[in-house]
Structure 1
Amino acid sequence: MTQKKQHVTIKGTKDGLNFLLDDRCSYESLLEELKEKLSTKHYQGSDEPDVMVNVKVGHRYLTEDQAEEISSIITEGRNLAIEEIHSDVLTKAEAELLRQESQVVTLTKMVRSGQVLKVRGDLLLIGDVNPSGTVMATGNVYIMGALKGVAHAGFEGDTKAVVAAALMSPTQLRIADQIHQFDEGDKGVAMASAYLDSEAESFKLERVQDLMRQRPNLQKNDSQIIDG
């Protein structure tokens, strides 16, 4: 006798329950088995606090209505609460956001006083940032020129982001939510970089050459090197 394949696997963790839903069966079969497994007295409601549930659907794409339907089946009449429904399938919007976050935006221009240049991903600016000018990136900021204004790297919270400049003479540097002010009249430092010390949560200013020791993940495209 052939054993019926299980489409729903429920595993307990120290934080709650994981519901592993098969991504190769029909949606209807999945719901049928989910209802069957949750029909036992073990999952009926009680006075106990809600147990958090993480639902993992693999490579199955769920519409909003389907996600709501699965959530309702799991939680209705039970002390279970959905923490997250995770799918390995990316929507077009999510894929586009990932593409933008991983790209290097290269611009050749001067950022004048009062201007704000804001990009998603890393910024490579071939030009100067004048006093009172501001450049911002969700990733790293690289200035092939004089940085005399404000640079804000990782402005959505990336504490691993860095700022590097051919001439580092800013009025202010920001990485994530950390701010470092500079004294007026500072002549600046050639080929310098700034990053956050993960232990002290303070700014470190060093030579550009030291970045690879502090941030080895910056080397993203070494597979594209033809020779060397």
Structure 2
Amino acid sequence: MNNRQNVMIKGTKNGLSLQLNDTCSYDSLLKELDDKLSDLQGEDIESPLISVRILTGNRFLTAEQQVELKERIRHRKNLVVEEIVSNVVTKEESERIIDEQLITSVATIVRSGQVLEVPGDLLLVGDVNPGGTVRAGGNIFIMGALKGIAHAGFTGDNEAVIVASFMTPSQLRISNCITRPPDHHDQDEHHQMECAYIDDSQQITIDRLQILKHIRPNITRFKGGR
């Protein structure tokens, strides 16, 4: 006989944690959830709200099932669902995650009025002319001249960087930070590649490429060698 509980409730410093059995039927889960929530419900309906975190393990819940669980818990007066955490993601979500981790390589010139956008990292072999725009959910690496607009980490990634062989942009954006390079920013006669990143003061800074491995050590994904 299987004595495993279908619903385990634990108190945390932030409220309650509900661990749901991911092998039982959904109906069995609901029945035990109702029973245990009834035991929890006190007589004081004026008690403060208690945050609930639902852990579903390897169980996939449809949107309708998630709504049903939230409604049953909300019915207990002082309980409110903060989030539902699952080890399972939809096919669409997994494809989005994969896309955001990919490096898209493009060999072209982004001309005035054109916008080149990718969900992950962008490796552009070519120039971004004045009036042209490149946007990436991750990092931007330009093997050429950046004279237009570059927006890295547009989904909110503050760790994203912008690298260019010739860094003379009309505007730089990383996540929600925006900057225009100072008028005196020119390439040295002995040209070197540069990178732009958000520093500790939450400002975009342009510096020599060599510092990139120190300020963003996780940018390297190569697993072998040294």
Identify the residue that residue 40 of structure 1 maps to in structure 2. 39
How many residues are paired up? 223
Q: Which amino acid aligns with 1:29?
A: S
Deviations 1:46-101 (A, max 9, x none): 11222111111011001122212222222214311111112110101100110111
TM-score, L = length of structure 2: 0.91
Assess if the C-alpha contact under 8 Å between 1:20 and 1:55 holds in 2: yes
Identify the residue that residue 22 of structure 1 maps to in structure 2. 21
Q: Which amino acid aligns with 1:136?
A: R
Assess if the C-alpha contact under 8 Å between 1:55 and 1:86 holds in 2: yes
Identify the residue that residue 214 of structure 2 maps to in structure 1. 213
Pair 1:68 & 2:70 matched: no
Identify the residue that residue 181 of structure 2 maps to in structure 1. 182
Q: Which runs of 5+ in 2 are unaligned?
A: none
Assess if the C-alpha contact under 8 Å between 1:192 and 1:207 holds in 2: yes
Work out the CA distance in 2 between the residues paired with 1:69 and 1:179: 43
Q: Please state whether the residue corresponding to 1:38 is helix, strand or coil.
A: helix
Pair 1:204 & 2:209 matched: no
Point out 4+ residue stretches in structure 1 off by more than 6 angstroms.
none
Work out the CA distance in 2 between the residues paired with 1:26 and 1:100: 34
Identify the residue that residue 122 of structure 1 maps to in structure 2. 121
Work out the CA distance in 2 between the residues paired with 1:73 and 1:127: 56
Q: Which runs of 5+ in 1 are unaligned?
A: none
Assess if the C-alpha contact under 8 Å between 1:9 and 1:20 holds in 2: yes
Pair 1:193 & 2:192 matched: no
Assess if the C-alpha contact under 8 Å between 1:149 and 1:172 holds in 2: yes
Structure 1 range deviating more: 71-80 or 134-143: 71-80
Work out the CA distance in 2 between the residues paired with 1:7 and 1:116: 52
Identify the residue that residue 157 of structure 1 maps to in structure 2. 156
RMSD between aligned alpha carbons?
1.9
TM-score, L = length of structure 1: 0.90
